[in-house]
């Protein structure tokens, strides 16, 4: 898989930078401080993403910091941004005791070892967290099933629903702006980042998932549509112009079709 990332600043002074980037994104990862939860700028970015209809997932970061709380941060997302945010993970420990996450779909513990958390080990969920994980998973399955008729029938009949079925339904619900997957971790210590990257692949759209882009021919002024396909005529949008003292003017553009 190839993932192109545009990193935008979180400070309110750079709102225009965020807005021009959202215009060309297929999907977004909204990062929250595990201590502060939803901040004023978080709300601004969120509403901008709504404006441009950008599917998104959330990442509650800094779970290793003093004062970090996954549940309080998630609660702030529910209250201030969307009641449809859906936890796919629970942290194993918080603050200086944070050591990994529980994957609520697979019901496994993921722990991260090495200087930079590069070694991911899958283990059984710690015994003292099993009951809590089961409760959260039940809420997760119920919420996903409510967005898919076939899964809802299975859920009500108390039939087994596979992880693949849940992921497929959650992906569709995410692309339809109905559900928002939530992950957690510590970016500084590289804990929880590998599952987040998997989540980007599982739940955010590729260019092929999106509707054809609409634009205007610069020569004729005629309205046109382009599918995301190399065989289509070239279409792109320049979304940022910057001046570099060494190379001159730089134009950043998003290619929608052609080559």
CATH architecture of 12-209: 3-Layer(aba) Sandwich (3.40)
12-209 and 213-257: identical CATH topology = no
Decide: 124 and 107 in contact? Cβ < 8 Å: no
Residue 129 vs residues 102, 212, 230: alpha-carbon distances, Å: 9, 46, 49
Domain range list for the chain: 12-209, 213-257
pLDDT at 218: 85
pTM for this model (two decimals): 0.90
pLDDT at 12: 62
Say whether pLDDT at 9 is over 80. no
Q: Which residues fall within 8 angstroms of residue 88, CB to CB, at 6 or more apart?
A: 103, 104, 105, 140, 181, 182, 183, 199
Convert the pLDDT of each residue in 99-146 to its tens digit: 999 999 999 999 998 777 778 999 999 999 999 999 999 999 999 999
Domain 213-257, what fold? Elongation Factor Tu (Ef-tu); domain 3 (2.40.30)
Convert the pLDDT of each residue in 20-74 to its tens digit: 888 899 999 999 999 999 998 899 889 999 999 999 999 999 999 999 999 999 9
Convert the pLDDT of each residue in 201-241 to its tens digit: 999 999 888 889 898 888 898 999 999 988 999 999 898 89
More confident residue, 237 or 87: 87
pLDDT at 60: 98
């Amino acid at each position: 898989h190839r993932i192109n990332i545009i990193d935008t600043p979180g400070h309110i002074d750079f709102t225009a930078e965020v807005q021009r980037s959202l215009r060309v994104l297929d999907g977004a990862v909204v990062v929250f401080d595990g201590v502060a939860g939803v901040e004023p700028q978080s709300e601004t970015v969120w509403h901008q993403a709504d404006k441009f209809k950008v599917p998104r997932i959330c990442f509650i970061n800094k779970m290793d910091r003093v004062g970090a709380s996954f549940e309080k941060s998630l609660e702030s997302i529910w209250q201030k941004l969307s009641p449809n945010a859906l936890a796919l993970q629970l942290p194993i420990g918080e603050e200086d005791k944070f050591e990994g996450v529980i994957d609520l779909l697979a019901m496994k513990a993921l722990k991260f070892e090495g200087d930079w958390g590069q070694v991911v080990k899958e283990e059984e969920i710690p015994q003292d967290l099993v009951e809590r994980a089961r409760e959260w998973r039940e809420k997760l399955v119920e919420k996903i099933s409510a967005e898919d008729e076939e899964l809802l029938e299975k859920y009500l009949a108390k039939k087994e629903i596979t992880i693949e079925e849940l992921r497929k339904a959650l992906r569709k619900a995410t692309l339809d702006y109905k559900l928002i997957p939530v992950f957690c971790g510590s970016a500084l210590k590289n804990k929880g980042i590998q599952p987040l990257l998997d989540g980007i692949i599982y739940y955010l759209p590729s260019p092929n998932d999106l509707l054809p882009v609409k634009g205007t021919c610069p020569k004729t002024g005629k309205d046109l549509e382009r599918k995301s396909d190399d065989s289509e005529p070239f279409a792109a949008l320049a979304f940022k112009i910057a001046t570099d003292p060494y190379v001159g003017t730089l134009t950043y553009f998003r290619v929608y079709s052609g080559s």
